[in-house]
Amino acid sequence: MQQTTPAACPESALVRAHTSLGDFDLTVCSDGTYLLDGGAMFGVVPKTLWSKRIQPDAENRILLGLNTVIVRTGKHTVAIETGIGNKLTPKMRGIFQNQELLPQSLAAAGIRPEEVDIVINTHLHFDHCGWNTTLHVDGSVTPTFPNARYFAHRGEVEHGHLQLERDAVSYNSPNYDPLIASGQMTLLDGDDFFEARDSRLPICPGVSVELFPGHTAQMMGVHLEPPRPVESRPSGSTPTPHGCYIGDLLPTAHHLDITWVMGYDLDPLRCIEERKRFYSHAIPEQWLVLFTHDHDTPMARVALNEKGKPVVAG
């Protein structure tokens, strides 16, 4: 795997990684970083344990990334997630200390918003779909990717519109309502997945989505499987290239332990079961796992260590 590590990349703050996956070209762009409470990010895991992996600041906050993966398939340019965006109030920006960098990051990577023709949101929390649309000084909101078809799950939209006490602040409807109203966003239904092969719903050749519920009821992972002619398939022990942007099921490489789920997860028990299901394929098939909120390790393969625990493969 060719990977431009942050240390070796002059635009490292803006472009987090670049690699190829079969015939697909993957670039990890970034909306910058933000700060969240370390306790909320690690649920019931004691601070004495998680703070050995990631150091909190004086206010117990940890630094997280906002990774947008741009996939060039040869026919399509796909953006997975769109960061926090520029719609937070000054008060919320002060809390999160986010930087609204995705437009600069795309420019640094040589990606024009106009060339992105597919945008996929794993779910519709504000830190995953913020740059779906851009807020202008006159208060208007327009699509950031004017030529893209956007994909999200209908259940996420419906849940966000309920504005429940538990998670109302996580949903900001200007990130998706204007796109639904204009017909630019396609809402996926539960029935679509039920009828799909392997429960994976194709978005374009080599790119599909699958439900991984738990963080939210309809969170989706994005599979990247570059199509290959039969005669060029690797033989023997070489696995077929497969990547997966797993969204908030595994927000960072520090969350690989099966029980290290987040306080934010609506159904933590389901998250644990879904992680087991994910690993049952991702580890033996050596998937490239793309992390949504890990600024330092945006992608890795996962292996089991000598104790049988999932870790970043060496």
Contact window for Zn ion (CB under 5 A) among 52-60, 131-139, 151-159, 243-251: 243-251
Structure tokens at 259: 């029980």
Nearer to Zn ion, 206 or 214 (CB): 214
Handedness of CA 125, 131, 135, 140 (dihedral sign): negative
Closer to Zn ion by Cβ: residue 81 or 100: 81
Identify which of residues 76 and 153 has a Cβ nearer to Zn ion in the complex: 153
Contact between 248 and Zn ion by CB under 5 A: the answer reads: yes
Q: Stretches 8-16, 17-25, 189-197, 242-250: which one binds Zn ion (CB under 5 A)?
A: 242-250
Question: For residue 26, what are the β-bridge partners?
Answer: 19, 71
- Do the strands 149-153 and 24-37 form a parallel or antiparallel pair, or are they unpaired? unpaired
CB of 73 to Zn ion, least distance (A): 26
Closest approach of Zn ion to the CB of residue 122, in Å: 8
How far is residue 51's CA from residue 42's CA, in Å, rounded to a whole number?
10
Nearest distance, CB of residue 33 and Zn ion, angstroms: 16
Please report how close the Cβ of residue 124 comes to Zn ion at its closest, in angstroms: 9
CA angle 26, 303, 81 (to 5 degrees): 30
- Point out which span in 53-61, 119-127, 143-151, 178-186 binds Zn ion (CB under 5 A): 119-127
- Report the C-alpha dihedral over residues 301, 153, 118, 79, rounded to 10 degrees: -40
Reading across the β-sheet that carries 15-21, which strands appear in turn?
15-21, 24-37, 61-72, 77-80, 118-120, 149-153, 185-188
Closer residue to Zn ion (CB): 125 or 254: 125
Q: What is the largest CA-CA distance in the chain?
A: 59
Closest CB 129 distance from Zn ion, rounded Å: 10
Distance in Å, CB of 167 to Zn ion, minimum? 9
Task: List Cα–Cα distances, 276 to 119, 212, 258, 298, in angstroms.
Answer: 28, 11, 7, 21
- 159: exposed, middle or buried (C-beta count within 10 Å: 0-12, 13-18, 19+)? buried
Residue 296 token pair: 């330092």
CB of 313 to Zn ion, least distance (A): 26
Looking at 61, 125, 149, 275, which residue binds Zn ion (CB under 5 A)? 125
Question: Looking only at residues 68 through 107 of this chain, which bind Zn ion when binding is defined by CB under 5 A?
Answer: none
- Closest residue to bound Zn ion by CB: 125
Piece of 67-75, 246-254, 274-282, 293-301 that binds Zn ion (CB under 5 A): 246-254
- Closer residue to Zn ion, CB minimum distance, 81 or 248: 248
64 by DSSP, 3-state: which? strand
Binding residues for Zn ion (CB under 5 A): 125, 248
